[in-house]
Structure 1
């Protein structure tokens, strides 16, 4: 009996030990769960974290018990926190906490503290608690296993410092970033263009905050297609050499000239280094600036004529960020004509001129669009003295036998000044309308009717000869009459001789 009791006691002791071990493990596990959490940082709408770095600073340690929270200042950042709050460096953890608590109903005040602390930490080179390093094409980043605490979240390279504050007091916490990465917006003063036209390009950007950076790179890159050439001014003065002047202006202030560099085939790549200019204008950080320059449409322009610009920036010259290219499309359009007779036979030798207004077209004067080319293929050329376009006999399987390239969208009037031999020319101008429907899409109409194949069909008719006076018909009758009269006279003479 005693042995049985001893056995029961041993079993109970073992069970109690197991329970205590499990309880301790559970407590330890719960304690671990309480100590750390994950912080997910989301980018704000319309932005990306590509090429960005996120830094977090644990300003206060945090302990949590049910609904009770206790904050203790992080000694590593105590002085910077006090400075940002306008308090003495001797301020206690409680005093710092109380000062921050006063901003609970003051969003602008707490935001100012966050930004001031960030600026001070960057200038002093204060190390962050944790960093994401440079990110790829993502919209969020998760910091795992952060100690519970009150954190400041800073996204590097933004237009201006806009840090966020968040308490990591649970397993998973989320914060949304406020800062925006630098970007540029490019526009043109025309939506469609004509060969020979000068296009004014404007790039808008915002001067970024370079606080805390010893170096900062800010370069604008612009690439033209073959249909465009950089020129000096709005009247199209030819550019010479690789040093290219552009105009830069902050807000409504005075414009200044900055030298860009041209490179690539036919100098169609522009690089504008504004790194030093950005650093020297930090008193205007957050303000908009504009860059203005010019390009001329050349004879190689097509519907896809465009150019694109992108920004290269960052505080590490060896590891910069490149933004997505901002493309501006300024298409130029062709006008194709199919000249036939009423039997759909292509006709060569018809001569046309194209006018920009109906009055000049009706007068068939010398104000037609100037062109260069031959054999049914022409391009708009404001420097030419020729205005005549002649159809050819074949269409090269393209469906037309007269092609003109380099027109902007709009209304035109096509005038036939000379018809092919043996055919009647048109008696009135044909109205042609080119309409842009997309970056690379357009439609053509003739006298208000849409041409699905984008080809203007022009037909000429021919007829039989009309009757004329004094022709061969009268002469033959006269000859016959004379012959008949002579015959009668001869017969009369012979008859009288026989009677004699």
Structure 2
């Protein structure tokens, strides 16, 4: 599963226990330590109130350097009452009240990577510095603490995303698990899956944008009507839109957009949102080792401190790739033996794929201009039968040839190079005497398999000849002629 490249929210518990009572506080000028974790986060510290701290109760409360009131003046009972009234509310609801009394500019300190800050007793808001969080980290939901000693402990849970494909062998009927590679015939509908796991701090958001962006190469044609969406394995039919026009990312093929995931009541933290669909492997498919890549990413709300309405702040996962292979088989026709001068025109072939139910599927053929080479494009692994349907004059028809195409490809894409995924492509004859070799393009990249089929000349039956035969023919002819004359003479004599 891929983690987010951009930022997402994290949460530390809020503690808000304020009181107007006057409490004696030993040492009045006590200070406490706020410690940043040893990460790349940069934390800004804002002092909202100061006061005297006893346990978790802050008394003699005054406005701090970043409070909305005048620094050093007493905080009114009205403000204190409003704050204490939300003690049992959710963290998001508490922050809506707290932010009204904070000026989030010019923090009293910024710390990171294990650094500390000595804070006077008071009420502090701690947040990530805007624009400072990158990579797989996440923005904080604002942390509010009444200071005793505090160690900031980020809980950086972020959504996960994956794109997968299933592989099917038409001959055996075997279907793979969801994986990163597969091979199919041109004309097949290829099954894909997109899956995003909702972040653990989903409850911190008022609204939540969630969108899958999918980009196919030219060899694949998206089937919009095939889309099915599931929440934790249960199909849903509303709350999302499948878009093929007006896309947020113009280079994408389609997007599945949830403008507000919160509108779907069954979604919760760690829910799995799954999109399944098919795409047709079409005639533009790339043959062999380069394959046909389909990639996707997940976009999501990433700042729980904003209301996410209108133009929400979002992060994105890295692109996750899968690849679809298809191959070609080239049959070259020769007379008697394989040699440059022995190419044999005048033949016709058909190639059929053997299916699990015993039926056969015909594969389209393209003949070379000299009619000595036959190309069958868009095959995957499985069993095939090659049959000569027309034989050149004076040559013997070959018996049908049964062979198997076997492909090996990594089911996990762990490198950046698409040419690393297909590791082996071979052909093995179950009948006949043909052998297969790799068929490569102009860049020596394997696109399929190639074989040579040889027709032997027809046999002429033996005869005898010479002068003896000629004399035999002449004498025989004289005897036949004499017999005819004799027969005619006898008939005339009888008539008299």
1:195 corresponds to which of 172, 182, 186: 186
Structure 2 residue runs without a partner (length 5+): 16-29, 35-45, 59-88, 168-181, 411-420, 440-448, 481-496
Q: Does 1:311 align with 2:305?
A: no
- The range that moved more, 47-56 or 419-428, is 47-56
Task: Give the structure 2 partner of residue 335 of structure 1.
Answer: 329
Aligned pairs for 1:7-406 (under 5 A) are 47=3, 50-52=6-8, 62=32, 76=48, 93-95=54-56, 119=92, 122-124=95-97, 126=99, 142=112, 146-148=116-118, 177-190=154-167, 191-208=182-199, 209-213=201-205, 216-232=208-224, 246-257=227-238, 258-263=240-245, 269-278=253-262, 280-281=264-265, 284-303=268-287, 304-314=291-301, 315=303, 317=311, 319-341=313-335, 342-344=337-339, 345-357=342-354, 368-372=360-364, 374-376=366-368, 393=370, 401-406=373-378
Question: d(CA) in 2 for partners of 1:91 and 1:48?
Answer: 42
Q: 1:230 to 1:274 in 2, by over 3 A?
A: same
Q: 1:206 to 1:281 in 2, by over 3 A?
A: farther
Q: Does 1:435 align with 2:404?
A: no
Which deviations, in whole Å up to 9, do the C-alpha atoms of 1:85-137 show, x marking residues without a partner? Answer: xxxxx99531469xxxxxxxxxxxxxxxxxx98545544464698999xxxxx
Which deviations, in whole Å up to 9, do the C-alpha atoms of 1:393-436 show, x marking residues without a partner? Answer: 377xxxxx221111122222222233323322222423132313
**Contact 1:55/1:130 (CA < 8 Å) preserved in 2?**
no
Shift of 1:347: 2.1
Task: Give the structure 1 partner of residue 460 of structure 2.
Answer: 465
CA RMSD of aligned residues (A): 5.2
Question: d(CA) in 2 for partners of 1:480 and 1:318?
Answer: 109
Q: 1:368 to 1:271 in 2, by over 3 A?
A: same
Q: 1:280 to 1:374 in 2, by over 3 A?
A: closer
Shift of 1:326: 1.4
Shift of 1:338: 2.1
More helix by share: 1
TM-score under structure 2 normalisation? 0.57
Question: d(CA) in 2 for partners of 1:473 and 1:300?
Answer: 69
Which deviations, in whole Å up to 9, do the C-alpha atoms of 1:130-157 show, x marking residues without a partner? Answer: 999xxxxxxxx94586414699777899
Task: Give the structure 2 partner of residue 447 of structure 1.
Answer: 429
Question: d(CA) in 2 for partners of 1:192 and 1:318?
Answer: 39
Question: d(CA) in 1 for partners of 2:14 and 2:140?
Answer: 21
Shift of 1:216: 3.8
**Contact 1:446/1:456 (CA < 8 Å) preserved in 2?**
no
**Contact 2:14/2:143 (CA < 8 Å) preserved in 1?**
no
Q: 1:62 to 1:404 in 2, by over 3 A?
A: same
Which deviations, in whole Å up to 9, do the C-alpha atoms of 1:357-387 show, x marking residues without a partner? Answer: 39999xxxxx5433445434xxxxxxxxxxx
Shift of 1:222: 1.0
For the residue of structure 1 that corresponds to 2:454, the secondary structure is strand
Question: How many residues get paired?
Answer: 358
**Contact 1:313/1:321 (CA < 8 Å) preserved in 2?**
yes
Shift of 1:271: 1.5
Q: 1:63 to 1:467 in 2, by over 3 A?
A: closer
Larger Rg: 1
Which deviations, in whole Å up to 9, do the C-alpha atoms of 1:245-276 show, x marking residues without a partner? Answer: x3222113343244311139999711121122
Question: d(CA) in 1 for partners of 2:212 and 2:347?
Answer: 50
